[in-house]
Each structure stands twice: as C-alpha cells, then as structure tokens.
Amino acid sequence: MKGFRIARRLLTAAGIFALAAVGYVLIGKVYPFNWGLVLRYYRLFLMGLFVTMKISLISIVISFFLGLLFALMRKSKIEFFEDIGGLYVWFFRNTPLLVVILLTYYGVGTIVNLDRFWASVIALSLFEGAYITEIIRSGIEAVPKGEIEAAKSLGFTNFQVFASVVFPQSIRIALPPLIGQFVSLIKDSSLASIIALGELTMMARQVGTRTLASFESYLIVAFLYIAITTIISTLGRYLERRLAIP
C-alpha cells in the first residue's frame, strides 16, 4: 500500500511537471523569456526570501499562542472571557487580512511607531490567530470526556488534566488543520508588500520594474512559495505519523 501511494505521488508529480513544461513551451512561442536579466538580481530574491521566512516563522509562533489563549477563553466558564474570545474570532475572521495590515500599519503603527516588519507580524499573527483559535478549540472538544473524567478520578487538578491529557491530545487532533493554517500564513505574508515590506512579492515587483520582466520575476516567486509550503506540508505529515496514536 505504501509503495502504491509513493508511485501514485510520483506519477502525479510527473504529470504536473509535463503539463508545466508544455505550458512553458507554448507561452515561450509568444513571450520572449529573459531569465538571464532577471537572475542578475538573485540577491534581491534571496533578501525577500529571508524576510518572508522571518516574518512567517515569528508570526507562526505568536499566532499559535494567541490561538491557544483565545481557545481557552472561548472554553472558559467565565462569561466575560468567553465573550472576549468570541469577539476576537468574530472580528478577525470577518475582516480581510489586507485591511488588517493597513489598519495596523497606518493606524496602530502611527501611534506607537511600528515599522513595516513588526506591523506585518502583528497583523498576520492577529489574523491567523483567530483561525487557529477555532482549530484548537475544536481539538479540545474532540478529546474523549472519559479520559478527562478518569484523570480527575485519579486526583489530578484542572491544570494537570489540561497539561497531561487535554493539551497533548487536542494538539495531536488539531495538527493537520494547524499545518494547513501555517501554510496559509506563509502565503498570506505576501500581502505585506502592500506596505512596501521587502518580502518576496515586493522584491519581485522591484525586479520586474527594473528589468521589464515581471512575468519571470513572479514565476520565480511562485516557485519559491511552492517549495516553502511543500516542505512545511511534508514536515507536517511526518509529525502526524510520529504523533499518531498507536
């Protein structure tokens, strides 16, 4: 079965590669690619890649802890905390990320003097944290009640029950959608170009302006995003297998 899955994936990858090659050849008949000129600016792409990875990794960490905090608030028996958690999720899940970035940079950033990088990190973390809140909350609710009651019957405190039983299992359950959300966060980081942060998309725009080869520039960016997200997804599947309940 495992060998069949590997063969199927290889066949799918080969098919996608073949289609991409055919598309490239057909486009090349009407569009003169100029890779040599674009690749002279490889340092700009590397700088953009570094900024993209930096903003993404920091935002992943912050958004995870925000999601955990507000998921616990959503599950709280104290109505005030539950309402605050619900309001947070409602606001950020119903506001476009582009608007959140602009509000953070031109609104909050003006008041507290935030630079482009940290305005982008805060906006991404708050936005993605709202989705992670619901993912973690669903994971907590999926933990079997019998295991919680068994832990309490052994004299565990509420904190011990959460730390030893609820949290580990909820994260294991929520891991697939969490990885998917982290992948979305990495792709969403491209919107930081709207405030001229020097991440991948912004650097591609600069290279395109200098070389008049915008198509090639954005193709490079697309390839880099595909490579990054594929690596993250592969690591996620590996973690799923390692953490799977025997």
* pLDDT for the residue numbered 58: 98
79 & 13 share domain: no
**Cα dihedral 94, 98, 100, 101 in deg (nearest 10):** 160
46 & 25 share domain: no
Residues in the chain where the model's pLDDT stays below 70: 1-6, 244-246
* pLDDT for the residue numbered 25: 77
For residue 202, what is the enclosing H or E element?
helix 200-211
For the stretch 149-206, pLDDT in tens is 888 888 888 888 888 888 888 989 999 999 999 999 999 999 999 998 889 999 999 9
5 & 111 share domain: no
13 & 57 share domain: no
141 & 73 share domain: yes
Task: Enter the tokens of residue 169.
Answer: 């299992």
60 & 140 share domain: yes
94 & 110 share domain: yes
25 & 130 share domain: no
139 & 174 share domain: yes
* pLDDT for the residue numbered 227: 94
Parent domain of 199? 39-243
What is the per-residue DSSP string for 72-119?
Answer: HHHT-SSHHHHHHHHHHHHHHHSS-HHHHHHIIIIIIHHHHT--HHHH
* pLDDT for the residue numbered 62: 98
Category of 113 on φ-ψ map: left (φ > 0), alpha (ψ -120 to 50) or beta = left
Rounded Cα distance between 124 and 131, Å, is 11
DSSP state at residue 103:
I
Any idea what the CATH number is for the domain that residue 94 is in?
1.10.3720.10
* pLDDT for the residue numbered 2: 60
25 & 73 share domain: no
64 & 162 share domain: yes
26 & 139 share domain: no
* pLDDT for the residue numbered 154: 83
Asked whether the beta carbons of 184 and 130 are under 8 A apart, the reply is no
Count of domains in the chain?
Answer: 2
Rounded Cα distance between 210 and 217, Å, is 11
